[in-house]
Structure 1
Amino acid sequence: MLKPFLRLLLKTLFRVEVQGDRNVFGDPRTLIVANHESFLDGLLLGVFLPVDAVFVVHTQIASRPLFRFLLRFVPHLAVDSSSPLAIKQIVRLVESGRPVAIFPEGRITRTGSLMKVYDGAALVASRTGATVVPVRIDGAAQSYFGRLAGVFPRRAFPRMRIAIRPPQRIPMPALPSARLRRRRAGELMRHILLDMLVTTRPPRTLYEAFLDARATFGTQYRLVEDIRLQEETYGSLLKMALALARLTARLSAPGETVGVLVPNAAPALGLLLGLSLGRRVPALLNYTAGPEGLRAACQAADIKTIVASRTFVEKAHLGPLLAAVPEIRVHYLEDLKAGFGLADRLWLLWHLAFPRRAALPQAPEDAAAVLFTSGSEGKPKGVVHSHASLLANVAQIRAVADFTPQDKFMMALPLFHAFGLTCGALLPLVSGCQVFLYPNPLHYRVIPELVYDRNCTVLFGTSTFLGNYAKFAHPYDFGRLRYVIAGAERLAESVREHWLDKFGIRILEGYGVTECAPVVAVNVPMACRNGSVGQLLPGIDYELEPVPGIVEGGALHLKGPNLLKGYLLFDQPGVIQPPPAIRPGWYATGDIASVDADGFLYIRGRLKRFAKIAGEMISLEAVEGLAASAAPDFIHAAATRSDAARGEALVLFTTAPELGRERLLATARALGLPELAVPRVIRRIDALPLLGTGKTDYQSLKRMAEEIPA
């Protein structure tokens, strides 16, 4: 009688919902593993799961008077995690044929993310061959039974959800020592739990996810700040989004792709949300791509309307850029305000009270945004992402990184950069992490000062930008930073060492592509290896395709919930084309990569950035690494030009004034590189050409290389 009563009570108070197949507990040897959100977790599993599981409880918890009383009604095994006999006790219990429930984290989360996963549960699963059933508990952390006070707002009766995932197994790793086997099994368990967090995310649109976050944190929660030094709340952002949705509805039709040309500022987020809730697809235009790049992007996405900021266009001198597309209507935000009349104000007041009614019907799989490839290797392509793919990447990032509402991001990467959109806009909007938006990443003196002045704890940037910030920053400017994450280009070893020496901060390198929304892999404090770009995010599968002439690694193919819907191409405007893939549902990155035994990903170079010289494949990135070793305090980039005798010839562009072939040859011998990897043509330049995203402009370098006389 007690169990039905508790089930009814909890269902009434917390509106508990159970999802998933309840018939997965049939194996006599079943190990139920769950994330640990609150002191209610054991009760929730005991009452709502369809099996009578034995709960593994730490002796310290079991000895507390209240829990000692409650545990009298629950089958349990009290173990001391410091005892070498603890694992044997749990193994015997599993082998007895009774389902066993355990929390591998060993403690209640204090960040809202997954905590450290102990190896014990995984070792039990691998020793016994038990079926592992992952169970996600969601919502309990926000109750007064959780431990997120001061981190997340707490509520008396939050809605709770229990999601049962398909069963899995953890085979005993074939490694030489018990310590290595235990560690590898523990890592497999961690990945099972991370995948569980991503796959159990609720299906939502961007606007719905924003409204859910507003309900969690409250209308007055301060979220976004920009160079006006004015903080915008969830309430003011909602008001902005609704007003802009009303105004832009007169300029475009539902389903239309609308160009967006605005700087990093709070109104940009309001515009993105406004277009999204009105079922318009914002296309983030790269204003550094030049007239030809803008024209190609607008044609590929079939853009007929651009919404821009007049102040930004004037200050950034973008008038000639817009003049390159005279056939496209340009509407300025400053002008739209004048058309907001009494009827619009009444509509706004009504929908501020009932914001979900303002959104036009959409599905999570519908197109949500269009980004454009950098154009570093050809004409920019429109990359169409759905609501689901963008929010999947946000969920993947939150699963591996313990960002909390106590963090404040500094985001100077533009929103047209996939890194800037996902990490600088969407992640804060749905997670409650605060963000400072700055419009120009090239202000190397200003940004470190703002990081210090605005108490930022997370900084995103490219290797080039981070290297320049370090040059001008005071050693104390970055004293509050918890995370410094580098992406978009390979992290230079000199930049890594500079940050470590000057600030005592380890830069965490990641890897992403616009087509994956964009983060694919990232080093985090819990799993970091220098030289790699980290482990793949949960939910992503990979395959390496052999490439003739390349011994180490292969062409990287990816599959996951964060993949694009398709491309918009210059020659077929407005028509979504499937991406190149080895099979449907996959994406060919065009990168050469390798993966080590622990799952860390190493990017060896772009497939297009290999030169075939005298029949041998030479990585241009290896050539750049050679130059960096020979002259570490300077910037280098390699390109190719046609060569009648060898097919292609290497050209090295460098800012080092005295770097010659002899020094490169000596360094190559020391590094074990072939002489073919040493360029014969070396050109000194003051600075490498860069795209607006901070990446090297290889198209320009290629043209410069071809212009060099043979």
Structure 2
Amino acid sequence: MVEFDIARTRKTLFGALLDARDKFGRNKEALEDLERQPITFGRLVLGSLVLGRKLAGLTREREYVGVLLPNVQAIAVTLFGLNAFGRVPAFLNFTAGLKNLKAACDLAGMRTIITSRRFVEQGKLDDVVEALGEGRRILWLEDVRGDLTSFDKLRGLFDSWFARRVHARARLQPDDPAVLLFTSGSEGVPKGVVLSNANLVANAYQVKALAGDVLRDDDVFFDPLPIFHSFGLTAGLLTAVLNGMKSVLYPSPLHYRQIPKLVAGTRATIMLATDTFLQGYARAAGENDLASVRYVIAGAERVKDETRKLWAKHGTVILEGYGATECSPVIAVSLPDRNRPGSVGPLLPGIEWRLEPVEGIHEGGRLHVRGPNVMKGYLDPSVPGQVNPPVEGWHDTGDIVTVDDGIVTIRGRAKRFAKIAGEMVSLAAIEATVQGLWPDNSHVVVAIPDSRKGEQIVLITDRAEADREVLLAHAQNQGFPELWVPRSILVSGIPVLGSGKTDYAAAVEMARRLQPML
């Protein structure tokens, strides 16, 4: 059992950054991005105080401030700067579409959005930002920086010498909101998840406590996952920086050819990604591009055997983890000596758990967790500003899991079971079966209404020659009944969210729309 001192987590994000600066040194590199101009812990604190004070003059205390930025150093400086002066960054998913972005802004009662002209121009988001600006103020980082005077910079330098005293004036407490994230909406309408300072600090420290023998002070994390996604925020940025390591931020996980080159250039040793992206990087990489990467921390979707083989050629071990936005997000992560393919490793220290039985499911149960990393609560859509906390601190993950010898294995989401002719069928298990037959392709299995059997299973695959009879023979050879075999096959690209997860809502809609043709 790994010991974990929860009392150590009782601090703010900016306070934890100051602790890291003081422990590991002002001159140690903390951040780098595609511009290849690293900044030290000392410069990160200084930049956060200068920018934060300027932004504080344009916003209100405890205000949810929209942040629409890619993974570059500026997003980290903005995060810590807002926190230093008691504001709450609300990270907006710029891949979510205007409708969802508007809904997020309305839910949070946002009055201000921070973004960048360069980013908006390159991302072709002009129309989106113009629409979001109706009734809200758009703060352009270029303008904010342009307004900085010599006095502002001198004051920032003075503030950095007395940073704890400056931060104390914000009267920010560990249990106060630190960030607002919006769930990806892979299976429904996004919710506003409020994570406290203590939640995020705890999760960064929990990962280090569990993986203390794996992570080294000189490790370099490579984080191509967007900060608006909790995996990119905590696992990729905060776990590194708050524990004295360096994080390299990259603005898009979709740049399969560019990312391996930058991994080589930065000598990254730890990489964060999802299975979908990992396959792309491994296939596009040159012979030595990924040689420096000791471990990949994979999450958000199940890691395929083919992906492990691709990375093994580069000498890299994939450690699969598991989490939820509501848990800051990491709940469990594999370790090199407890790395069972198909499992997600042991639960982090400090987390209590229980399994609740689910009717029709005979193996495992629905996982509920409680601990210092479990969210402050959801924003109440009907009461502005109100946060509804989880009952008695317990969060229902909605995942069906088994726990064997302390190792967690995900059997599927409660919502990812179909009821066919009265029998519960795991869609995740069917996906695994299909993947075993056609490992070089991507697949997603969904359930749609069926007038005779309640629901029917549809396979969406990018394999052009996918054949149901071949799949049926394979499934029966694996011991699965014909009931488990998708009734229909739809050949199409797999819809994916900006976070790298499969977009199940879009996949279901695709199957429903084409149902008459199937």
Q: Give the TM bin, normalised by the shorter chain.
A: over 0.9
Say which SS state the counterpart of residue 503 (structure 1) adopts.
Answer: coil
Q: 1:574 Cα shift?
A: 2.6
Alignment partner, residue 371 of structure 1: 181
Q: 1:425 Cα shift?
A: 2.0
Out of 490, 498, 508, the position equivalent to 1:692 is 498
Spell out, residue by residue over 1:586-613, the C-alpha distance to the aligned partner (whole angstroms, 9 max, x if none): 10001111111x1110111111111111
Alignment-mate amino acid for residue 367 of structure 1: P
Alignment partner, residue 602 of structure 1: 409
Say which SS state the counterpart of residue 459 (structure 2) adopts.
Answer: strand
- What TM-score, normalized by structure 1, do the two folds share? 0.70
Say which SS state the counterpart of residue 594 (structure 1) adopts.
Answer: strand
1:494 & 1:345 partners in 2: Cα distance?
A: 51
Say which SS state the counterpart of residue 567 (structure 1) adopts.
Answer: strand
1:460 & 1:343 partners in 2: Cα distance?
A: 40
Matched, 1:407 2:219: yes
- What TM-score, normalized by structure 2, do the two folds share? 0.96
Alignment-mate amino acid for residue 507 of structure 2: L
Q: Summarize the Cα distance change of 1:690–1:573 in structure 2 as closer, same or farther, 3 Å threshold.
A: farther
2:408 & 2:145 partners in 1: Cα distance?
A: 49
Alignment partner, residue 399 of structure 2: 591
Q: 1:220 Cα shift?
A: 2.0
Alignment partner, residue 233 of structure 2: 421
Q: 1:323 Cα shift?
A: 2.8
Matched, 1:562 2:373: yes
Q: What root-mean-square deviation, in Å, do the aligned CA atoms of Structure 1 and Structure 2 show?
A: 1.5
1:364 & 1:490 partners in 2: Cα distance?
A: 33
1:347 & 1:246 partners in 2: Cα distance?
A: 10
Alignment partner, residue 290 of structure 1: 97
1:239-254 matches, within 5 Å, as 239-254=46-61
Spell out, residue by residue over 1:548-569, the C-alpha distance to the aligned partner (whole angstroms, 9 max, x if none): 1111111110111100000014
Higher mean Cα deviation, 399-408 or 272-281? 399-408
Higher mean Cα deviation, 227-236 or 322-331? 322-331
The 8 Å contact of residues 629 and 667 in structure 1, kept in 2 or not, is answered as: no
Out of 279, 289, 302, the position equivalent to 1:467 is 279
Alignment partner, residue 440 of structure 2: 633
Say which SS state the counterpart of residue 396 (structure 2) adopts.
Answer: strand
Out of 147, 156, 160, the position equivalent to 1:352 is 160
1:296-445 matches, within 5 Å, as 296-325=103-132, 326-341=134-149, 343-359=151-167, 360-401=170-211, 402-445=214-257
Say which SS state the counterpart of residue 501 (structure 2) adopts.
Answer: coil
Q: Summarize the Cα distance change of 1:236–1:575 in structure 2 as closer, same or farther, 3 Å threshold.
A: same
Higher mean Cα deviation, 396-405 or 288-297? 396-405
2:504 & 2:10 partners in 1: Cα distance?
A: 39
Alignment partner, residue 320 of structure 2: 509
Say which SS state the counterpart of residue 574 (structure 1) adopts.
Answer: coil
The 8 Å contact of residues 665 and 678 in structure 1, kept in 2 or not, is answered as: yes
Out of 458, 461, 464, the position equivalent to 2:270 is 458
Alignment-mate amino acid for residue 512 of structure 1: G
Alignment-mate amino acid for residue 75 of structure 2: A
Say which SS state the counterpart of residue 624 (structure 1) adopts.
Answer: helix
Say which SS state the counterpart of residue 392 (structure 2) adopts.
Answer: coil
The 8 Å contact of residues 198 and 399 in structure 1, kept in 2 or not, is answered as: no
2:104 & 2:481 partners in 1: Cα distance?
A: 41
Out of 331, 335, 342, the position equivalent to 1:524 is 335
Which is bigger in relative contact order (C-alpha 8 A, separation at least 6)? 2
Out of 493, 496, 521, the position equivalent to 2:308 is 496
Alignment-mate amino acid for residue 504 of structure 2: Y
Q: 1:393 Cα shift?
A: 0.6
Out of 317, 338, 347, the position equivalent to 1:536 is 347
2:131 & 2:433 partners in 1: Cα distance?
A: 41
1:630-709 matches, within 5 Å, as 630-685=437-492, 687-709=493-515
Alignment coverage as a number of residue pairs: 511
The 8 Å contact of residues 261 and 308 in structure 1, kept in 2 or not, is answered as: yes
Say which SS state the counterpart of residue 397 (structure 2) adopts.
Answer: strand
Q: 1:573 Cα shift?
A: 3.8
Q: Summarize the Cα distance change of 1:210–1:518 in structure 2 as closer, same or farther, 3 Å threshold.
A: same
Alignment partner, residue 429 of structure 2: 622
2:56 & 2:348 partners in 1: Cα distance?
A: 37
Say which SS state the counterpart of residue 668 (structure 1) adopts.
Answer: helix
Spell out, residue by residue over 1:149-205, the C-alpha distance to the aligned partner (whole angstroms, 9 max, x if none): xxxxxxxxxxxxxxxxxxxxxxxxxxxxxxxxxxxxxxxxxx1xx22x343525211
Out of 361, 365, 371, the position equivalent to 1:550 is 361
The 8 Å contact of residues 297 and 570 in structure 1, kept in 2 or not, is answered as: no
Q: 1:250 Cα shift?
A: 1.9
Say which SS state the counterpart of residue 536 (structure 1) adopts.
Answer: coil
The 8 Å contact of residues 30 and 38 in structure 2, kept in 1 or not, is answered as: yes
Say which SS state the counterpart of residue 584 (structure 1) adopts.
Answer: helix
1:211-230 matches, within 5 Å, as 211-230=18-37
Say which SS state the counterpart of residue 242 (structure 2) adopts.
Answer: helix
The 8 Å contact of residues 198 and 538 in structure 1, kept in 2 or not, is answered as: no
Q: 1:340 Cα shift?
A: 2.4
Q: 1:346 Cα shift?
A: 4.5
Q: 1:388 Cα shift?
A: 0.7
Alignment partner, residue 156 of structure 1: none
Spell out, residue by residue over 1:408-466, the C-alpha distance to the aligned partner (whole angstroms, 9 max, x if none): 11110011110111122212222221121110110011111111121111111000000
Alignment partner, residue 281 of structure 1: 88
1:517 & 1:576 partners in 2: Cα distance?
A: 16
The 8 Å contact of residues 509 and 522 in structure 1, kept in 2 or not, is answered as: yes
Work out the percentage of aligned pairs sharing the same amino acid: 48
Alignment-mate amino acid for residue 363 of structure 1: Q
1:490 & 1:610 partners in 2: Cα distance?
A: 16
The 8 Å contact of residues 198 and 395 in structure 1, kept in 2 or not, is answered as: no
The 8 Å contact of residues 224 and 435 in structure 1, kept in 2 or not, is answered as: yes
Q: Summarize the Cα distance change of 1:318–1:573 in structure 2 as closer, same or farther, 3 Å threshold.
A: farther
2:439 & 2:411 partners in 1: Cα distance?
A: 20
Structure 2: gaps spanning 5 or more residues? none
Say which SS state the counterpart of residue 343 (structure 2) adopts.
Answer: coil
